A and B are shown apart, each in its own frame.
Chain A
Amino acid sequence: MRGADAGLRERPAARALLLVLAFAFLALFLAAPLAIVFVEALRPGLGAYLAHLAEPDARAAMRLTLTVAAICVPINVIVGLAGAWAIARFRFRGRNLLVTLVDLPFSVSPVIAGLVYVLLFGAQGYFGPWLKAQGIDVIFALPGIVLATLFVTFPFVARELIPHMETIGSSEEEAALLLGASPWRMFFAIVLPNVKWSLLYGVLLCNARAMGEFGAVAVVSGRIRGETTTMPLHVEILYNEYMGAASFATASLLALLALVTLAAKAGVEWRFAKSIAAQAPAGSE
């Protein structure tokens, strides 16, 4: 008994060493960066902190960030649902290629995500002169920021939905159709409720990225104060002007968003595990 046990566990000293190393590493690289954001933000006191957040430029940045997310998340939900339906429910030529292409933006540098739109719509871009003649601003304006954000958030919703839809299978949907439901009724009464947890999961991640994106947005924004600076860009501008406390104040809001996202994610994962267990066809596990 003792012999087998010794062979299956590390000695207490080794175990303690591993735990200490793991905790030290996480403290250095996860806990400290998170903590310092709030420490630096609150260093000049709560009053100054709130004053930094109430500045017109800070408020304009918050409004712009919320606007961008409010446009990008619904588009991603529609495209993600459509994409997951096409990929998870049908077998067709080029399906694997399509799966790879959906994930492609993850392996492209965010700076390149911004660059491609400057090349298309910038002053010297392919469509730049034509857009200028029409009086439409894309680069250094809201449309460019939205496009760059859509590029980097493209995979989030679809990639969460595809595996979940495949796990659930299509028997309930087929039953609904056989019982005479219209395709849209089947979609709203069967598909959407079945995938709601993975959809919510994808929306959470997509929203966090849309609000926090920096590289892609930095390239297309032009950083016009109060007009085209999102919250991450506002953080950068203040930081480069040596306004550390003000910069960390806005950064602390983004850090809070990250914490809320992580908490909600953990909650969804927990519910999701339960619903997967309930949805799994009988007999499989």
Chain B
Amino acid sequence: MRISLEPMDDPEVTQKVPLGEQIRRITQEKGSFANLTEEGLAEDIQSPVETEEKPAEEGLEEGPRQKLIAAVRSALNESALSLDFVSLLISGLRPQSGASSMSPALKRQVPIGTLGCDTIKKEQTSINKTRPGAGWKLIALENASKHLRGSSVRLQGEAEKEARFWNELLQTVMGGEVVVKTNRGKMKGLNVKYGFEESGSTYFGTGTGKLIRGADGSVVFKTKSTQEKKIVRVRSFSGDGEEVGCGFIGAEAQTELQTARNYLFEEELFFLLQQEARTLGAYRVLLESDTIVCESFEGRLEIDFVEESMALGPKDQLAQLLCALLHLILCYYYSENLKKQQSTPEPLESTKKSDQPRIYSILRPLLSHMHQAKLAARAVRLAEMILPNSKIDSTRSIADETVSDILFTPPESHVRITAETEINVLVRSPLSPGAVFIARCDGFKAELYDLTELEMWLKGKALAS
């Protein structure tokens, strides 16, 4: 931009531009004052440039000139502001260099280094970018549908199994089994009590099994794997030691639960029989290496505990009956115990009940019947021998008021011998206390304790008549 040397018309402008500034401008344009000559100046004044300028200057009206000046000022101002802005920005990173170009006004207003900057990238969204996302979504939906379909099949199967399990369990419970739920320990889950605990059994076997849902939803019964498949077997031997036959009651039942219960029952029965047999030594009941041996009518009976598969041989009716009776008697005890437990409890007593395990009379009733029948038969034979011409008749009586009477009341036989005088002999069971034979004749009564005494007494009566 060229600056005219002519004095400005505007007095404000001429006043405003100081002399020093004017000199500086002149040296910039025309060179040093040292080279200034009159001719040069005259040339300048009359040069064609000026004549060229003249019309231009003349062309400019007063208004546009002012406008130009205002524009230049505004530009100056703007650039100063920009400089300040850039300086302040730089001062954020390099305070020294920034501060050097900042205007004093700015420094006063704003602390150095208070403006920072960063690049912000604006993300561009386009349809192309959503495509992989849509694919993922499709895959995910497909997976989800597969998962749901698979799960629905599985859950349907599960529901069917569940229904079957609970149906069977309901039947089990309705069948009278005691099913309980345990939350802790090894037996966690559903358990069934198949033992005879409630019936007063004190046997060590817990009699508790687990009920598990099988693969097909059925109720699977699991008990301790060590349960022996043994049963109580009664064998009868003839007088010369030959085995006549045996009797036993099979334990296999329809369901595993019942089978397990049967085996447990057999185990308990034999345990109780052994316990009882120890107290029956006086009646020639022996315990020989886990076999109970007792006298029968002619020979002997052996009760042992064997594997069910081993219990073979011809069946003997007597042995079978005896075996059945053993089972029945224990059942009777258990049912009585159960009744007692379910009834109203007795009032508390100060006397303590003994902790001794109760010994059940299971063999006793059998022995009682067998021995009594044997003695009655012998008594009849004896009478026939001693009083050959008499009429002898024997009647056997069994108390039959209740089941308990039949089982536990010892039988009695009345032997009536009719000769010149009538002799009545009451044959009692040798297992009940007191005399075995009570003989009556002519109002006299004699209590006799064995067959020899009866023989002597009968002989005496025979002689007397």
Q: Do A and B come from one complex?
A: no
Show the binding face of A for B, using Cβ within 8 Å: none
